[in-house]
Amino acid sequence: MGLPARRVVFEELRERLRSTTVPARQERLASAIPALDRALGGGFPKGTLTTLEGPLCSGRWALASRLLAQATRRGLAAVLDGGAIYPPGLAAAGVSLARLLVVPAPEPLTSARAADALLRSRACGLIALDAPSLRSAVWTRLAGLAHRSGALLLVVTTQAAPELASAAHLRLRFEYTMRDELRLYVRHESVRVACSR
């Protein structure tokens, strides 16, 4: 290919690139915690699998409850309950129980099937669950369904297993420091941001 032909191809490529539209900014679900929302670029990205990781009583479900409250203000949300969900506690956190679907899911396979069905239905903007032990292929499939449905799939766990961690788009880790302060670490596409409470 001679120089004039390359120039023509280059000009055609330049024109095609100019004519393409810039993709819309990813829709986000704000947590109503200003510092966290700023660190996340406006809130939790919808269409992703996100993990909330940390020890018991570290605030993982408190943050999940805030997100459920935000989601039920605009539409439907779901919680896949392994037996620990207390609806009056969710209501006290601001969750609209009339817009919350609580699905009993005591077994890992039940959780996976319920999450799959809810994501395919596109009925819920947020689906929260305790992390069941699932194969990597299942987490990858659920992450893909979350992306296609535009829903936030929120997985609460003490520590993400490698199978889950590899499928997660965003990981938030709660840790206690030596002085009993709670710290939150955000891992988003290999970028870490530390936020103190």
Q: What is the separation, in whole angstroms, between the first and last Cα of the chain?
A: 61
Instruction: List, for residues 113-123, the tens digit of each pLDDT value.
Output: 999 999 999 99
Q: Which residues contact 178 (CB under 8 A, 6 or more apart)?
A: none
Q: What is the pLDDT of residue 157?
A: 94
Question: pLDDT category, 18, cuts 50, 70, 90?
Answer: low
Chain center to CA of 127: 9
Question: Cβ(171)–Cβ(179) under 8 Å?
Answer: no
pLDDT at 190 over 50: no
pLDDT at 101 over 60: yes
Mean pLDDT over 75-92 rounds to: 93
What CATH number matches the domain at 25-196, 3.40.50.300, 3.10.310.10, 3.40.630.30, 3.40.1390.10? 3.40.50.300
84 versus 152: the higher-pLDDT residue is 152
Domain residue extents for the chain: 25-196
Percent of the chain with pLDDT over 70: 88
Question: pLDDT category, 111, cuts 50, 70, 90?
Answer: very high
Percent of the chain with pLDDT over 90: 65
Instruction: List, for residues 151-165, the tens digit of each pLDDT value.
Output: 999 999 999 999 999
* Secondary structure, 3-state, the chain: CCHHHHHHHHHHHHHHHHHCCCCCCCCEECCCCHHHHHHCCCCEECCCEEEEECCCCCCHHHHHHHHHHHHHHHCEEEEEECCCCCHHHHHHCCCCHHHEEEEECCCHHHHHHHHHHHHHHCCEEEEEEECCCCCHHHHHHHHHHHHHHCCEEEEEECCCCHHHHHHCCEEEEEEECCCCCEEEEEEECCEEEEEEC
Instruction: List, for residues 45-63, the tens digit of each pLDDT value.
Output: 999 999 999 998 888 999 9
Angle between helices 136-149 and 108-121 (to 10 degrees): 20
Q: What is the pLDDT of residue 17?
A: 64
pLDDT at 19 over 70: no
Q: How far is the C-alpha of 171 from the C-alpha of 165, rounded, in Å?
A: 8
Question: Cβ(99)–Cβ(76) under 8 Å?
Answer: yes
Question: pLDDT category, 9, cuts 50, 70, 90?
Answer: confident
Q: For the whole model, what pTM was predicted? A: 0.81
pLDDT at 196 over 60: no
